[in-house]
A = this chain, B = another copy of it.
Amino acid sequence: MVEFADLNSVAFDMAPIGIVLTEQRVIRVVNDVFAGLTGRRKDALQGLSFRELYDSPREFDDFRDIGMAALQRGETYSDERLLAKQGGVATWCRFRARTLTPADPLARVVMTYAAISDVSSGVRLTPREREVVVFLSQGKTSKEIALVLGLSPRTIEDVRARLLKKLQVRNVTELLSRLASGDF
């Protein structure tokens, strides 16, 4: 049987989720899965600024402002975001962050990235479909959605049908379940 310290590092590296630890936004530790998400080698990530992983400096700064309040309160911050992969491909991720130093939140942060779906290889939804899927995820019926959008319930059923066909599922609950688990 493997010894305890070894198992710890195995659990860290093989956890089915990307993990990265930064100090003042400089990458100090990553696990194998995170390296895979970024399409870079582990040693290439060491010491790299987190800025390099975003497409634009603005995206980078956005998070610094958005997540800061939660971090200072010692809470876990979470959202969904794109993680840039080398080669232009992006991965849609559930992102979570927690600081180890609430007084100076960015001094040491542990972040996780759970891949939801590859936007590049995924199915493209139309604006109307994206609009409706939000109402569907709130448990609204076709009639209720039609009322809000000022359309015929029949039209909402059309959008539902298009969504089910595009994503190859049998009902809306399965659609939402697969969206949440990143099957698309």
Contacts and interface: CB of A to CB of B under 8 A. Distances in A.
Interface in A143-184: 169-178, 180-182
Given A10-B21, A29-B4, A170-B139, A180 B177 contact: no
> Which of A17, A80, A114, A138 has the most chain B CB atoms inside 10 A of its CB?
A17
A78 interface: yes
A96 B114 contact: yes
B139 A176 contact: yes
Q: Is the interface of A mostly helix, strand, loop or mixed?
A: mixed
Contacts of A139: 169-178
A35 interface: no
Interface residues of A, number: 52
A106 interface: no
Given A7-B29, A21-B11, A173 B172 contact: yes
Contact of A138 (B80, B96, B174): B174
A83 to B, nearest CB: 16
Contacts of A171: 139, 141
Given A10-B100, A140-B174, 14 more contacts: A1-B23, A4-B29, A10-B110, A12-B12, A14-B110, A15-B110, A15-B112, A16-B96, A78-B181, A80-B177, A138-B174, A139-B170, A139-B176, A176-B176
6 contacts: A4-B28, A7-B21, A11-B12, A94-B114, A141-B171, A176-B176
